[in-house]
Amino acid sequence: MNQLEQLKKFTTVVADTGDFQSIQAYTPRDATTNPSLILKAVQKEEYKPLLEKAVRDNLDSSTSEVIDHLLIAFGKQILRVIPGRVSTEIDAGLSFNTNASVAKGRELIRLYEKAGIERERVLIKMASTWEGIRAAEILEKEGIHCNMTLLFSLAQAIACAEAGAQLISPFVGRIYDWYKKSTGIDYVGGEDPGVQSVKRIYNYYRKFGYKTEVMGASFRNVGQILELAGCDLLTISPDLLQKLAESDAPVERKLSAESGAGAGIGKISLDEPTFRFMMNEDAMATEKTAEGIRAFCADTGKLKQIISGMR
């Protein structure tokens, strides 16, 4: 078996792309999208018809509403080629507005259900801010499941689990980027701070019985992926999926419920002041969360400009 096939024995593989044609080649169970991936996809000739149809069918709607319909169009196409769930992200500009995030999550699910897609096949993605986590808590109680993204710290992970979020996406590669820039060290294997962060979160969840799924995300290389073999899910870009498929080197399971249960971790009591203080003390998590929100807002703005130019 190649490495991708071996990895699938331990971990649910998720495709991290809006390119649903490339998804078919690697047979992942789930798929994730974000504003940057959708922006990249709609600039390809093969996906322009989806954008054109979303604009044409919603001429009297705002650009934000057109984007909602475009997200649903991509989600529907992706769900035709995977057996599991698709993650669809709300506007990052809502990251500090709980009520607006809840309303947007409800609206996206309404559009999916109107299109004949049951809510069990959709995860609403939102940033792991305190306000985003509170929105997820409300949506989960309504049967709208959430994927908490832009997650860089144990504080965020604990808050998400206590809110009952379905899934979290800790960003391995972006944590690695920050520490590499800060220290000048090119971390490899188990020394990688991004890998260590996900292992810590996974073990904390297993030790204290949280049901929230852990999905490592934002990988820079195959080594980071292999160090997290056994994680609940891993969302992987097409180029790294291809590298895994081209290698026959052995894959060893690194994470398991048993290893997590025996981890020497103390339980943290987390309320809003504690969450905000822990984030304040973690420069990497604070900076990368803010940077990620800004980047997703910028790409959403570029997408709005494209749509405005078509009307």
Contact 306, 51 (CB under 8 A): yes
Rounded CA-CA distance 124/82 in Å is: 17
The token duo for 282 is 């973690």
Other beta carbons within 10 Å of 197 = 24
CA distance 73 to 18: 11
Nearest to 86 by CA among 112, 49, 114, 111: 112
288 is catalytic: no
Tokens of 47: 């996906």
Q: Give the mean pLDDT of 136-162.
A: 98
Contact yes or no for 15/236 (Cβ under 8 A): yes
Give one word for 263, left, alpha or beta, with left for phi > 0 and alpha for psi -120 to 50. Answer: beta
Q: Looking at 48, 104, 114, 125, which residue is catalytic?
A: 125
- Residue 299 CB partners (closer than 8 Å, separation 6+): 35, 36, 39
Mind listing the pLDDT tens digit for each residue in 176-233? 999 999 999 999 999 999 999 999 999 999 999 999 999 999 999 999 999 999 999 9
Q: Which residue, 205, 178, 194, is CA-closest to 268?
A: 205
Q: What is the pLDDT of residues 17-36, one digit of tens each?
A: 999 888 988 999 999 999 99
Report domain 3-308's class: alpha beta
The predicted model scores a pTM of 0.95
Single-letter code of the amino acid located at 237 = S
For 104, the token pair is 């947007």
